[in-house]
Structure 1
Amino acid sequence: MSDLRIRKQALQLEELFHDGGPANGLPQRKLAMVTVIANPFAGRYEPDILPFVETLKPLGRAMAQRMVDMLGGDPAQVQGYGKGAIAGENGELEHAALWHEPGGWGMREVLGTARAIVPSTKKLGGAGTRLDVPVTHINASYVRSHYDAMEVGLNDAPRANELALMLVMTTGPRPHARVGGLRVQDISAHDGLR
């Protein structure tokens, strides 16, 4: 990660005990991590940005490991995940899209058994821009109880020449999930979908 210019990192943990219904014994936890880095392509058009993916890969793994450690160290407790990125005003949407592979594969590598694609979102924005990072179940994208999102952002990022790179992990379904669909105990295809 020596080629990255990291300005700051932040972790945000939510613990939700109930959402209007009965309190759960254990809270559903949502954890987000944001890393703010200099955008090496800000302010200019660079036709070949793909090599930067390799530069970002160690960051994706490191962020995912730090998040698992913060949740107690056991990857098996993570049931949902998502990723996102915001490119500052002098960047392009495609610069934020560079986070797809490093963020997604970094989490899947640290979690070990995750099969589902990591949902993602991205946008352009100035300092203080927030992003609703989508979340799905780590092994089957059609598990409806785990369709969720977490709003993530920092008051001073991304600056015009920065990227804000985000990962989200959750430890369970939405509180009181009851809208049907595929249940965790019924995952069978092991194709990341069902």
Structure 2
Amino acid sequence: MPDLAIRKTIFSFEEIFHERGPVPDKSLRRASAMAVIKNPFAGRYEPDIQWFMDDLKPLGLSIARRLVEMLGGAEHVEGYGKGAIIGEGGELEHGALWHAPGGYAMRQLLDNSNAIVPSTKKVAGVGGRLDVPITHINASYVRSHFDAMEVGLSDAPRADEMALVLVMSTGARIHDRAGGLKAGDIVGKDGLR
């Protein structure tokens, strides 16, 4: 990783079998990856920050590959999302630097991932939590895949750090029945439908 000071990486995996209803034929698996890194802009205002996105690209690919492996391969991934928690010495815009490196890393590994990768970010103290949104990888309007995964650590981010997050899932919410566009009806031209 070019010039990245990585303190730790954290990977989480969950498998959901049912939500009070009948046990479905297939469980839902979700996985998250978080990299806690030093924020090179902490403690000051820096007008030129875009260069750091190039430094983040290898990190994005590395943790995205690990998520794909955790979920059993790219062919099983149907949902994704990304996020960033910026320590108190930083600013929200530092989290925006994760948009391209995190999003494109996942899209590079997942064939036909036409949908924009949903995102969230915030500035928080140590122990801050973040709900990372998840949508279908090919069509953002597939309502069954609207989901979120909470991430966070008890010791991060410190004031001079940022915690960069990727999330993937293998399908719709368990017992989804809120209607809308079905995954099987995706046209696949615009990333929306």
Q: Could you tell me the TM-score, scaled by structure 1's length? A: 0.98
Structure 2: gaps (5+ residues):
none
C-alpha contact (below 8 Å) 2:98/2:164 kept by paired residues: yes
- Equivalents in 2 of 1:6, 1:186: separation in Å? 42
- RMSD over aligned CA atoms reads 0.8
SS of the residue aligned with 2:130? strand
Report the AA paired with residue 88 of structure 2.
E
Match of 1:47 in 2: 47
Match of 1:134 in 2: 133
What is the aligned length? 193
Superposed, which structure 2 residues align to 1:49-128 within 5 Å? 49-72=49-72, 74-128=73-127
- Equivalents in 2 of 1:48, 1:179: separation in Å? 44
SS of the residue aligned with 1:63? helix
Match of 1:19 in 2: 19
Percent sequence identity is 63
- Equivalents in 2 of 1:32, 1:159: separation in Å? 20
Tell me the CA shift for residue 189 of structure 1. 4.1
How far does the alpha carbon of each residue in 1:104-131 deviate from its partner, in whole angstroms, 9 at most, with x for none?
0000001132110000000000111000
SS of the residue aligned with 1:57? helix
Name segments (4+ residues, structure 1) moved above 3 Å: none
Structure 1: gaps (5+ residues):
none
- Equivalents in 1 of 2:76, 2:103: separation in Å? 18
C-alpha contact (below 8 Å) 2:30/2:71 kept by paired residues: no
SS of the residue aligned with 2:12? strand
How far does the alpha carbon of each residue in 1:53-83 deviate from its partner, in whole angstroms, 9 at most, with x for none?
00001111111001111222x2010000000
- Equivalents in 1 of 2:75, 2:164: separation in Å? 24
How far does the alpha carbon of each residue in 1:136-185 deviate from its partner, in whole angstroms, 9 at most, with x for none?
00000000000000001111110000000000000010000001000011
Q: Could you tell me the TM-score, scaled by structure 2's length? A: 0.98
Tell me the CA shift for residue 88 of structure 1. 0.1
